[in-house]
Structure 1
Amino acid sequence: MKKKYVVLVITILLSASIYFLLFHKNKSLKFIPENADAIVLVDVKKVTRQYISELLTHPSEWLKDDKKNKSKISFSKSGVKIPDFLQIFHLKNTKISEWYTILEIEDKEKFSAFLKSRQFVNDGKDRFKNGRFFIQIEGEKCILGTSDQNLKNIGSPLSQKFRNKVLNADSFMQDSFGSISFISELRTRNFSIDLNEDEIEIKSSESSGDFKSLIADLESKTEFLKAELDQNNIKNISSVFNKNISDSLSVNSLKMSVNLEEINDTIISYGYDDNFNEIEKVSYQKIVQPNYELILQTSDADKTWNYFQQKKWINSQNQFTAIPFQPNTIYKNNNQISIKSTQRSVKNDDIKKQNYIFVKNNPLLFSVFKTFGNSYKEFFKNVDYIFCGNKSEDYLIKIKLKKNELPLILKL
C-alpha cells in the first residue's frame, strides 16, 4: 500500500510541476506604455508546449549539435526574467520599423555575459547596440528595441483598467500563439497570430479561411506581385506609413501586376590611354528590374493628375517619377490613370474583384537579401508567398513557407 501512496504522491507532484511549468500563466501586462498604438503579445508557454511537442516527434533533432551557436549564450540563460506573455509594442508617431519590449533583469552578471556573447557593444550610459538592436538598462529593467531614437519617449505603463477591462492578456488575445492589437482613440482591433507547420497566419477571425480559393488561384499564376485594393484599404495602408494622401488622390480602387526580369545594364565610364587620349569604356552588370502595370480608378482623374503634378511626380516625358524603377509612362483615360513600364508591361486582365496583395517569392530577389543577416536571408529564401486579404471586417495575412522536413517552430 505504501508504494501506491508514494507513486500517487509522485504523480501528483509531477503533474503539478508540469502544470505550473507549461500551463499556469501570469496574464498581467506590466510593461505596455500608455503611448503605445500597437501591441504584439506572444504566449511563451504555448510556444514552449508547441516546441516540445514538435521536438518529441522529430528525434533527429534530439542530439543535434549546433556548433555555430556554441559560443552564444541562449536567451533562456541570459539573466532576464522571461514573462509568460512577451510584450512588444510600437509607440505613437514613430516609424513603422520601431518596436520595443521591456524585460526584468534577475542576474546582472549573467546578463552582461549574454550581451558580450551576442556581440553587443557598450555605447555608454548603460546603452548597448548590435546591428539593428539596441538595449537601454534602467535599474532592474532593460529596454530592447529596433531603434534608439525613442527609448526615452516610452511612457508610463497603462493603468490597471483599459477600456473598462482589467488590463491582462485576455484584453488582447484568446487561445492563440500570439496576437497583434492596434489601439486608437475609438477602439482596439485584435488579430490572432498562429504558427503552423509551414506557415504563419495573422487573422481577425476564424472566418478568414474564406480566402482559400482566392489564394489557390493566385498560387497558380506566374506574376511576382498582384494586388487589388478598394478605397478603404488604400486609405488604411497609406495611414500605416503616415502618408494620408488617399483623400487628395480621390482614388476609388487600385489594381497592380508586377513581374521581375534580369537584364544586362550597360555601364559607360571614361579613362585615358598611354597618350592621354580620352577613351570610352563599356562594361555590363546584371540587374533585376520590375515590369509592371498599375491602374488607378478615380472619381476625378483631373484632380488626381493635378495632385501628381503638384508633387512633381510627373516629368515632361510623362513619366511617373515616384516609381523609381526604369522608364515608365503615365496617362489618363476618362476616370482611369494607368502607369506602365515601357520596356515590357504586364496586363491586368485577370480581375478578381476582391481586396488582396499577393507576393510570390522569386529567385531574382535573392540578390536583394545581401544586405540582410544570414538568419534573415535564410528565412526569406524559404518563403513561398505572402498573402494579405480583406473581406468586410475579416483580415488575413498568411506567410507560406516552402515544404521542409522540419516544422517552422524547430527552425526558428
Structure 2
Amino acid sequence: MKKKLAYILVIISVTVLALYLFRYKQALIYEKKIPISATEIVQINLREIEHHLLIDVIKNPLKYISFKSKKKGSISFNKTIEIPKNLFFFTNNSNYKNAWFSSLLKLKDSHKLKRYLLQEGFKNSTSNKLETFCKGRIIIAFSSSNAIIALKKQENTSIISEIKTVFNQTTFYKKESELLKSISNSKSDITYTNLKDDFLEANFKNGLFEIKGSLNSNLFIADKYVEDTNNSIGFISTKINKNNTVFKSLSSLKNKKKFKNFTKLSLDSIVNKWNGSLVANLRAIDTKIDTIVTYKYDDDFNKIEKKSIQKFNTPNISISLGSNKNLYEYFYNSKAIQIIENDTLLTSIPIYKMYAKQVENTLNIYSQKNENTSEFKKEEYKFNMFIAVSRYLKQPLEFSSEKSINKYLQLIKNVSAKQTLNNKVVIQVRLKEEKRNCLGQFLKP
C-alpha cells in the first residue's frame, strides 16, 4: 500500500513538473510578430507574468476566492482569444506614428469577444470594411480570425489606414535581427527597445515594481539637484529641454486653457521666460489651527459671539524655477506676485500662503517665511524624484482622490525615479508588503 502511494506521488509530481516546464519554460516566439518598419518595440512576457500570479495564488489562496456570483450572461475575456506566450507592441515615426499596435491575436470566438467589448463600454463602428471597437484611446480591430489592439497617442486621431497596414503586413523582423537581440535575450516581464539603442526592463518583484535600463532621451538635461530622502516627504529636481517633442506635446491648447482658467496666467509666457530648471521639495505637511469667530443674535437682539476651531493641513514646500529676472517681472506685472503687508506673496494660486523672491537666476516660491534656498549641490542626475507615499497619506493635503485610486496608494511605501548623466534609468515603486509579488497585490489587495 505504501509503495502504491509512493508511486502515485512520484507520478503526480513528475506530471505536474512536466506540465510546469511545458507551459513556463518553453522558448518565446518572435517570428512573424513585428513588421520590419517598426522602430520601437515593447514585449510583454505573458507567461512570466502568469507565473508570478500562479505563485501568488498558491501562497495567498484566500485573496483569490470570490463569493460574488457571476452576472448572468457575462463573458470571460480569456475564453475569446488565444493568449500568446508573449505580446508585442510597436510603433515608428512614419506609417505607425499615431499609435502603438499589438502583434496579431488569434481569435477563439469573435462573436463572444465583440459581446464582451460591448459589455465593457466599447463603441462599435465599421469604416472601410474594417470593424473596430473603441474606448478612449484603445481600439480593438478585427480581420478574419485575427484581432489587434491599438493604443492611440492622440485620442481624436484616425488610425484606420494604419490598422489595415498592420493586418496586411508581410515582412517581419527575425529573432536574430539587431533590434530584437536585447529583447530575445531578456528574461524580464516587460522589455522596451528602439533603433537608438535604448533598452528598458520592467519586473514585478516581491514588494517592488522596478524599471531599469538606459534611455538616451534629451527630455532632461544635467542640472543641480536636491536629495533629502530622510527628511522630505517628496522632491523633484531636473532641467527640462523645452525643445523636446514630449514636452511640447504637453503644452497643448487644451492644457493652456486649463492653466489660464486656473491661474489667469499665460503658460506660453511662463515657458518662454523659464530656462527649464525645476526643483521642488516637500519637507512636511503641517497642521494649522484657525479660530473662526461668527456672530448671531438672540431673541432680544443681543449680539452673541461664537468661536469654532478649524484644522487644516498646509505644505511645507519650496519650489525653484530657473530663470532670469523676466519671469519674476512677468508674475509681478500680471499681479500673480504682490506685496501685501511687507510680504512678497504668490497670489495666483490662493489655496495656500506662498512667498516669492528672486535669487540670482532663480525664482523661489516657498511656504515658510524664513526659507533657506541654498540647497543646491553638484550635478549628478538629469532627473531625480522621490515620494514617500505612506508618509504623505498619514497627513495628506485636503485634495479629494477617487476611492479606487486611494485603495492602491495605500499599498505603496515610496516611489523613486532617477536618470543619471550617462542616461542610466532606475524607477522603483516599493510596497509596504515586501514578501508578496507586487502585481498580485495590485490585482488582489
Q: In structure 2, do the counterparts of structure 1 residues 326 and 160 end up closer, same or farther at CA, with 3 Å as the change threshold? A: same
Distance in 1, Cα, partners of 2:245 & 2:332: 20
Partner of residue 317, structure 2 = 292
The DSSP-based 3-state class of the residue aligned with 1:188 is: coil
Distance in 2, Cα, partners of 1:23 & 1:260: 49
**8 A contact 1:43–1:86 mirrored in 2:** yes
Distance in 2, Cα, partners of 1:264 & 1:239: 45
Report the CA distance between 1:261 and its aligned residue: 6.2
**8 A contact 1:291–1:344 mirrored in 2:** no
Letter in 1 for 2:320: I
| 1:241 pairs with 2:247 | yes
Unaligned runs of 5+ in 1: 206-216, 266-283
Partner of residue 316, structure 1 = 335
Report the CA distance between 1:142 and its aligned residue: 3.6
Distance in 2, Cα, partners of 1:261 & 1:172: 51
Partner of residue 337, structure 1 = 363
Q: In structure 2, do the counterparts of structure 1 residues 55 and 11 end up closer, same or farther at CA, with 3 Å as the change threshold? A: closer
Letter in 2 for 1:149: N
The DSSP-based 3-state class of the residue aligned with 1:316 is: coil
Q: Report the structure number with the largest CA radius of gyration.
A: 2
Partner of residue 177, structure 1 = 189
Partner of residue 152, structure 1 = 159
Report the CA distance between 1:152 and its aligned residue: 1.0
Distance in 2, Cα, partners of 1:163 & 1:10: 36
Paired-residue identity, %: 18
Partner of residue 360, structure 1 = 388
Distance in 2, Cα, partners of 1:226 & 1:54: 33
Distance in 2, Cα, partners of 1:38 & 1:404: 33
Worse-matched range after superposition: 39-48 or 352-361: 352-361
Aligned length: 357
Letter in 2 for 1:84: K
Worse-matched range after superposition: 343-352 or 138-147: 343-352
**8 A contact 2:30–2:174 mirrored in 1:** no
Report the CA distance between 1:141 and its aligned residue: 1.3
Partner of residue 200, structure 1 = 209
The DSSP-based 3-state class of the residue aligned with 2:337 is: coil
The DSSP-based 3-state class of the residue aligned with 2:113 is: helix
**8 A contact 2:43–2:183 mirrored in 1:** no
The DSSP-based 3-state class of the residue aligned with 2:386 is: strand
Q: TM-score, normalised by structure 2?
A: 0.62
Q: In structure 2, do the counterparts of structure 1 residues 347 and 99 end up closer, same or farther at CA, with 3 Å as the change threshold? A: farther
Partner of residue 384, structure 1 = 413
Report the CA distance between 1:195 and its aligned residue: 1.0
Report the CA distance between 1:408 and its aligned residue: 2.0
1:49 to 48, 51, 61: 51
Q: In structure 2, do the counterparts of structure 1 residues 294 and 306 end up closer, same or farther at CA, with 3 Å as the change threshold? A: closer
Distance in 2, Cα, partners of 1:49 & 1:358: 30
| 1:189 pairs with 2:198 | yes
**8 A contact 1:248–1:307 mirrored in 2:** no
**8 A contact 1:257–1:348 mirrored in 2:** no
Q: TM-score, normalised by structure 1?
A: 0.66
**8 A contact 1:35–1:92 mirrored in 2:** no
2:281 to 252, 257, 270: 257
Partner of residue 136, structure 1 = 140
**8 A contact 2:75–2:112 mirrored in 1:** no
| 1:403 pairs with 2:433 | yes
Distance in 1, Cα, partners of 2:310 & 2:100: 37
| 1:108 pairs with 2:110 | yes
Mapping of residues 266-285 of structure 1, within 5 Å: none
Q: In structure 2, do the counterparts of structure 1 residues 327 and 194 end up closer, same or farther at CA, with 3 Å as the change threshold? A: same
Q: In structure 2, do the counterparts of structure 1 residues 344 and 141 end up closer, same or farther at CA, with 3 Å as the change threshold? A: farther
Distance in 1, Cα, partners of 2:397 & 2:242: 27
